[in-house]
Amino acid sequence: MIDYIRENLSYYPIYFRLLFKTKKVFTPERVDFGTDKEQYFLYYEPAEIKSGKVVIWIHGGGWNAGNPKFFDYVGQCMAGYGYRFISMGYRLSPKNKYPAQIEDVCRGYKAALRYLEGKGIDTSKIILSGPSAGAHLSSILCYSKAVQDEYKVDISNVIGYIGVGGPYSFRKSQSMTLKMLLGMLFAKGFDRTKAEPWSLMTRNHVPMLLIQSRHDGLLEFECAEDFADKAETVGNTCEIYEVEDKRNTHSWYTAGYFLFSREESKTLDKYISWIEGL
């Protein structure tokens, strides 16, 4: 309960820092991959490219909120560290029920690769990532062979996956907030195992980093442990990083850490250090 209250109290300081402490340095290019207003991605080109790796990031927001434009500061941060960065959008619930979201993520991913290749950019070193609802969707994209086959997605060029604060397992012991959000995401009677990353995971070559907090306030730390246990069972490489920063409630550590520097945020430093080590 204390962490839930801390999570709710975090929104104002996050918005304050977003409004008054961030700078817009890079102008992203918008690319639409569908007719819905949310079916687009933003591409950020660094002023100085420091890595041949490209990060494709899928935003969070409880599946019912957020878009790449709102999370512009994430692209600004990563481009500032020299990474080509794509921020992916998707149709939102409750208007659009699952699997609309994973359909968009798969379609957008393929469109992003075509876009990068059209610009002559090497796509052989892709990092897939996402926080919260975006961790849910990106983990399915990365680790479900059934979804990859259904939507004809090739992940052979993905060299790493980072999920932050993800609901990878739909545990019975979950918060009322998560129950409500899942209720909006799925149509009545939908078999939720068909959208549960834990149930869908199959073996592949992509190592994963799961960043999770024991003081999340919305999600249990065990969600990451469940996913890590499944990874070990099927033979996937997985590391769990437990958030050490004091700003360790859900919103702060799933997206708020991009509002700080690596020196200020151990979570951001771990995120980038892990990418550097691939």
Give the Cβ contact number of residue 215 at 10 Å.
Answer: 19
CA distance 215 to 156: 35
What are the sequence ranges of the domains in the chain? 2-276
The string of pLDDT tens digits covering residues 87-118 is: 999 999 999 999 999 999 999 999 999 999 99
Query: Can you tell me the mean pLDDT for 140-164?
Result: 98
Query: Can you tell me the mean pLDDT for 72-76?
Result: 97
Q: Which of 23-32, 155-164, 174-183, 231-240 has the lowest mean pLDDT?
A: 174-183
Q: Is the pLDDT of residue 83 over 80?
A: yes
Specify the pLDDT at position 174: 82
Two tokens at 234?
């099927």
Residue among 207, 214, 224 nearest 245 (CA): 214
Specify the pLDDT at position 1: 66
C-alpha angle 6-8-10 in degrees, rounded to nearest 5 = 70
Q: Is the pLDDT of residue 17 over 90?
A: no
Global pTM reads 0.96
CA distance 64 to 51: 33
Give the Cβ contact number of residue 127 at 10 Å.
Answer: 24
Strand residue runs (E) in 59-154: 84-88, 126-131
CATH number, domain 2-276? 3.40.50.1820
Two tokens at 30?
């918008």
Q: Is the pLDDT of residue 16 over 80?
A: no
Residue 28 is classified by DSSP as P
Query: Can you tell me the mean pLDDT for 262-270?
Result: 97
Per the document, the length of the chain is 278
CA distance 136 to 127: 15
Task: Identify the three-state secondary structure at position 123.
Answer: coil
Two tokens at 6?
């801390």
Q: Which of 4-18, 63-77, 188-202, 235-249 has the lowest mean pLDDT?
A: 4-18
In contact, 217 and 254? CB cutoff 8 Å: no
In contact, 234 and 264? CB cutoff 8 Å: no
CA distance 264 to 248: 13
C-alpha angle 238-58-14 in degrees, rounded to nearest 5 = 100
Residue among 266, 267, 263, 258 nearest 83 (CA): 258
Specify the pLDDT at position 257: 95
Specify the pLDDT at position 3: 62
Specify the pLDDT at position 20: 65
